[in-house]
């Protein structure tokens, strides 16, 4: 086994999302994507309370051609969609969706969180889909913390959301081989990961301070690994929360526009037209 080299440690950029400043580790000035991962947004905000749910979060919008995935770290996220799914996922859980040929969904803090106020912290990342599955029937999986397999020691707690690690399988269905994990390493803790050479691999730190294969990284950094080894050796200088996204590259042309990720400009034009014609479903949100 050989350690993966670190190509670069890249600090997140601040971006404005509808009046909220959030951290965007991907894309960044060096990488448009890390195939099959297209985008990572890390948002943490305070809800002031005494608000209606319809005043917070993101209302109905369509997607096609990829999987938008949300890891919930604090607070909750309620997903409603044009297939009738309506589920709140709390901290430690995941809202997983494969948009396939088209679905319309909303993503909001729950009515209770809007009313009571509090922190909502999430990471949303976009996983690309191989062309032959882009027009599949949409797939939705809400995943609680309890239903997410865990590897635990006194030093760390790691959850496997998709792919397989040490014989433990994550529940989410993917369309190309990948391994997606989220976890926490305590101060002075250490852990090794073994991940195939040919998987494109990144780690993003929500906070904390780590040594990774001999290189230092801190909160809001993205660590981009080379495809020249299979081992990641981590020791923590502080309590650190992280996500690890790793997968076989799809190696297809990506053409994206807003909430659609396809292969060609023609397919994007079709997506825009289909969404306008209501072919990606209609969502009438329910508010309590």
Between 224 and 260, CB nearer to Mn ion: 260
Distance between CA atoms of residues 10 and 23, nearest Å: 12
Distance between CA atoms of residues 195 and 277, nearest Å: 43
Instruction: Kindly list the residues in this chain that would bind Mn ion in the complex (CB under 5 A).
Output: 68
Sign of the four-CA dihedral 15, 17, 19, 23: negative
The token pair that represents 161 in the structure block: 């959301």
Between 115 and 272, CB nearer to Mn ion: 272
Q: How far is the CB of 140 from Mn ion (least distance, A)?
A: 12
What count of residues does the chain have? 288
In contact, 99 and 68? CB cutoff 8 Å: yes
Backbone angles phi, psi at 53, to 5 degrees: -60, -35
Residue with the closest Cβ to Mn ion?
Answer: 68
Between 22 and 217, CB nearer to Mn ion: 22
Closest CA to 15 of 98, 129, 124, 107: 124
Q: How far is the CB of 260 from Mn ion (least distance, A)?
A: 11
Q: How far is the CB of 267 from Mn ion (least distance, A)?
A: 19
Between 86 and 192, CB nearer to Mn ion: 86
Q: How far is the CB of 63 from Mn ion (least distance, A)?
A: 6
Q: How far is the CB of 87 from Mn ion (least distance, A)?
A: 14
Between 68 and 170, CB nearer to Mn ion: 68
Q: How far is the CB of 143 from Mn ion (least distance, A)?
A: 17
**Could you write out the three-class secondary structure of 202-259?**
EEEECCCEEEECCEEEECCEEEEECCCCCEEEEEEEECEEEEEEEECCCCCCCEEECC
Q: Residue 196, Cα to own-chain centre: how many angstroms?
A: 20
What is the four-CA torsion angle of 285, 102, 261, 136, rounded to 10 degrees? 140
Q: Residue 119, Cα to own-chain centre: how many angstroms?
A: 19
Between 60 and 171, CB nearer to Mn ion: 60
Between 68 and 75, CB nearer to Mn ion: 68
Q: How far is the CB of 259 from Mn ion (least distance, A)?
A: 6
């Amino acid at each position: 086994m050989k350690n993966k080299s670190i190509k670069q440690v890249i600090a997140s950029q601040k971006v404005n999302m509808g009046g909220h400043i959030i951290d965007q580790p991907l894309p960044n000035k060096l990488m448009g994507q890390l195939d099959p991962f297209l985008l990572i947004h890390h948002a943490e905000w305070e809800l002031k309370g005494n608000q209606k749910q319809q005043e917070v979060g993101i209302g109905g919008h369509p997607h096609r051609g990829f999987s938008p995935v949300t890891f919930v770290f604090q607070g909750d996220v309620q997903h409603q969609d044009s297939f009738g799914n309506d589920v709140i996922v709390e901290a430690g859980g995941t809202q997983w969706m494969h948009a396939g040929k088209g679905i319309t969904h909303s993503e909001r803090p729950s009515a209770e969180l809007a009313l009571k106020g509090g922190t909502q912290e999430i990471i949303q990342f976009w996983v690309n889909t191989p062309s032959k599955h882009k027009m599949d029937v949409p797939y939705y999986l809400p995943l609680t913390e309890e239903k997410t397999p865990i590897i635990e020691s006194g030093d760390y707690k790691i959850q496997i959301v998709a792919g397989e690690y040490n014989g433990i399988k994550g529940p989410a269905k993917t369309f190309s081989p990948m391994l997606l994990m989220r976890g926490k390493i305590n101060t002075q803790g250490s852990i090794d990961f073994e991940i195939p050479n040919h998987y494109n691999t990144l780690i993003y730190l929500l906070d904390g301070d780590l040594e990774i294969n001999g290189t230092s990284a801190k909160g809001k950094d993205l660590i981009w690994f080379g495809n020249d080894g299979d081992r990641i050796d981590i020791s923590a200088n502080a309590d650190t929360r992280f996500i690890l996204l790793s997968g076989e590259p799809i190696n297809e042309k990506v053409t994206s526009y807003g909430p659609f990720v396809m292969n060609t400009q023609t397919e994007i034009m079709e997506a825009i037209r289909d969404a306008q014609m209501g072919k990606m479903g209609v969502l009438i949100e329910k508010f309590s």
